[in-house]
Amino acid sequence: MGTGKSVVGKVLEQKTGFRRFDTDEIISSRLKTPIEEIFSTHGEEYFRDLETETLRSLSGEEPAVVVTGGGIVLRGENVDLLKQMGTVVWLDADEATLRARIHRLSDRPLLRTANPGATLSELLAAREPLYRKVGDLRVDISQKNPEEIAEVILKNIRNFPIGE
């Protein structure tokens, strides 16, 4: 949350010419409803079901840039699907950087709590071990713009097919 996944995905799409699939955009478009409203109306579990369904539908696409929400790693099936698709990139930053990047914490469905800052800390603590386990490539986004982040990703993915 707040790492710029969607923007970096668009930059990677531009640089590689690969199609970009953003699971949040796909879900929102399919339901004609903003993600925040899906969470508030149907709950997180329903949204997670939609994420898994969306990933399954993308697993045959090649080559592509797939952008997911940060909670995608909460389900083992999603992790397996991501690993089958290719290199999993973890965009990371320290908590202070993420707080600064998330301008209004209340705009994020999972941070609509009495204490959004504490909730962010809890989410990060719970998810970081999963990100460490799942991520093939960890990129610290602190002090980097989306172009620089995309360059780091492209330089570090082995056997990247550009130029072939």
Task: Return the amino acid letter for 73.
Answer: V
Higher pLDDT, 39 or 100: 39
Contact by Cβ (8 Å): 23, 75:
no
SS3 136: coil
All domains of the chain in start order, with CATH = 5-155 (3.40.50.300)
Q: In the predicted model, what is the mean pLDDT of residues 112-141?
A: 84
Query: Where residue 120 falls among pLDDT bands split at 50, 70, 90?
Result: confident
Contact by Cβ (8 Å): 71, 39:
no
Contact by Cβ (8 Å): 122, 39:
no
Length in residues, the chain:
164
Contact by Cβ (8 Å): 93, 3:
yes
